[in-house]
Amino acid sequence: MTRRRGRGRSGWKFATRAVHVGEEPNLGPGGSGDVAVPIHLSSTFARRRVTEPTGGFEYSRTSNPTRRALEEKLASLEGARHGLAFSSGMAAETTLCLSLLEKGDHVIASDDLYGGTRRLFSQTLAKFGIEFSFVDARRPSLVSAAVRGNTRMIWLESPTNPLMRLCDINEIARVAKQRSVVTVVDNTFASPCFQSPLGLGTDVVVHSSTKYLSGHSDVVGGALMLSDERLFERVKFNQNAAGAVPSPFDCFLIARGIKTLSLRMERHASNAQRIAEFLSNHKKVDGVNYPGLKDFPQHTLARRQMSGFGGMLSFQLKGDASAARKVLERTKVFSLAESLGGVESLIEHPATMTHASVPPDQRAKLGITDTLIRISAGIEDPDDLLADLRQALS
């Protein structure tokens, strides 16, 4: 077989890996030379002998050629040895926790988490005797102080959803290593284009590939990237045992989206920067959360651990909930919708939409007020986005 598999791959830069890894054309005998990975719909694979699968595949829940291509690409994005694809971000999270935790274990999680992750922890996993402490991970000393004898995992998001808070990933990973605790980073917001948690010393990266990885708001998926063989074997076992895997068509869509990830991220970030600066100077706005703003409290940390500031931001509107509702319902280019990371700009109200499952007292404590608005900057012309916000705020 004269496949290009692996050629120069380790020296390739991010944008090249995003296009090519996992999809090297097969120009060998019988190979068709596809430059885009085919969608292998077969649920089962024939073999010549009872003892081994002839083509390396047995049954598509266990492994499938389209999924394997995506998983190779996913691993390469995060500089990981292994990538595993799931049917949603929550499926990835559930399988990871199922694989690494058991009754009596303790997990430290940052207190400003995606609402669905918090719900999984507090309402589902807690029922199985797993304990959770939610701490302000902006202060590594609080994370360190929360570690107990039974702590098995530290779960971080940086930037967080929706307040864009950062944590010092490298410092927390260092503390965790000393105590033999596994660190997990949900890297959905930054994307692997702008932040590499494994390079900062963590063990596992989680993505909702529904967001920037696929990038077009047309597929739900999740991913885990990791290099430790022992952890990988445990999670891979449960990927098959629990079976929350994506369809071959979904794998194809996510792999296709990833090919343009670096181009899209540049535009998401430059649009978000323009919007953040515009909102910062608007008289009806009481504060903007965006790591790329020079006066963002953790701007220095953002510069240190991210190579771009991402496409997500949130802001506090002056006034009350009805003023916020008017702005949210008046935009024309921005769609009022949950989710993020697609080519189209979205606007939403965390308190009643994405974070409605977070108890009101917790929302109040965190600063997810009724006048907080979250934006996912798309890749449209920035002038149209600013004009839309200007009219919605007027």
Ligand X SMILES: Cc1ncc(COP(=O)(O)O)c(C=O)c1O
Interface positions, 135-164, toward ligand X (CB under 6 A): 157, 161
Q: Does 188 bind ligand X (CB under 6 A)?
A: yes
**Identity of the residue, 220 or 358, whose beta carbon is nearer to ligand X in the bound complex:** 220
Which residue among the candidates 17, 105, 112, 114 is catalytic per the annotation?
114
318, 367, 377 from 294: Cα distances, Å: 22, 21, 19
The region of 6-14, 110-118, 329-337, 379-387 touching ligand X under the rule CB under 6 A is: 110-118
Which residue among the candidates 186, 250, 370, 388 is catalytic per the annotation?
186
The region of 40-48, 74-82, 112-120, 238-246 touching ligand X under the rule CB under 6 A is: 112-120
The region of 63-71, 173-181, 184-192, 235-243 touching ligand X under the rule CB under 6 A is: 184-192
**Identity of the residue, 106 or 374, whose beta carbon is nearer to ligand X in the bound complex:** 374
The region of 186-194, 234-242, 268-276, 279-287 touching ligand X under the rule CB under 6 A is: 186-194
Q: How far is the CB of 341 from ligand X (least distance, A)?
A: 8
Q: How far is the CB of 384 from ligand X (least distance, A)?
A: 25
Rounded CA-CA distance 334/336 in Å is: 6
Contact status, residue 215 vs residue 266, Cβ threshold 8 Å? no
CA 152 to chain centre: 22
**Identity of the residue, 144 or 217, whose beta carbon is nearer to ligand X in the bound complex:** 217
Interface positions, 300-359, toward ligand X (CB under 6 A): 339
Q: Is 114 considered catalytic here?
A: yes
Structure tokens at 21: 């890894």
Count Cβ atoms below 10 Å from residue 226 Cβ, excluding itself: 26
Closest CA to 392 of 338, 337, 335: 335
Contact status, residue 168 vs residue 183, Cβ threshold 8 Å? no
**Identity of the residue, 65 or 246, whose beta carbon is nearer to ligand X in the bound complex:** 246
Q: Residues 90, 225, 285, 375: which binds ligand X (CB under 6 A)?
A: 90
Q: List, in sequence order, every beta strand (DSSP E) within the chain.
A: 82-86, 106-110, 131-135, 151-157, 182-186, 204-208, 222-226, 285-289, 312-317, 335-336, 346-348, 372-376
Q: Is 139 considered catalytic here?
A: no
78, 207, 223, 233, 236 from 230: Cα distances, Å: 18, 20, 18, 5, 10
**Identity of the residue, 63 or 88, whose beta carbon is nearer to ligand X in the bound complex:** 88
- Binding map of ligand X across residues 189-228, x = CB under 6 A, - = no contact: x------------------x-x---------x-x------
**Identity of the residue, 189 or 315, whose beta carbon is nearer to ligand X in the bound complex:** 189
Q: How far is the CB of 209 from ligand X (least distance, A)?
A: 7
Query: What phi and psi, each to the nearest 5 degrees, are found at residue 97?
Result: -65, -40
Rounded CA-CA distance 354/6 in Å is: 41
- Peptide bond preceding 162: is omega within 30 degrees of 0, i.e. cis? yes
Q: How far is the CB of 378 from ligand X (least distance, A)?
A: 16
Give me the residue whose beta carbon is nearest to ligand X: 89
CB proximity list for 369: less than 8 A, separation 6 or greater: 316, 351, 363
Q: How far is the CB of 188 from ligand X (least distance, A)?
A: 4
Closest CA to 210 of 338, 81, 97: 338
Q: How many chain residues interact with ligand X (CB under 6 A)?
A: 16
Structure tokens at 183: 């660190």
Q: Does 97 bind ligand X (CB under 6 A)?
A: no
What is the CA angle 107-111-112, rounded to 5? 130
Closest CA to 355 of 341, 343, 342, 373: 373
Q: How far is the CB of 41 from ligand X (least distance, A)?
A: 23
Count Cβ atoms below 10 Å from residue 303 Cβ, excluding itself: 12
**Identity of the residue, 90 or 107, whose beta carbon is nearer to ligand X in the bound complex:** 90
Which residue among the candidates 61, 267, 330, 365 is catalytic per the annotation?
61
Q: Does 78 bind ligand X (CB under 6 A)?
A: no
**Identity of the residue, 188 or 271, whose beta carbon is nearer to ligand X in the bound complex:** 188
Which residue among the candidates 67, 68, 73, 211 is catalytic per the annotation?
211
Q: List, in sequence order, every beta strand (DSSP E) within 209-322.
A: 222-226, 285-289, 312-317
Q: Which residues are catalytic?
A: 61, 114, 186, 211
- Can you give the binding site for ligand X, defined by CB under 6 A? 88-90, 114, 116-117, 157, 161, 186, 188-189, 208, 210, 220, 222, 339
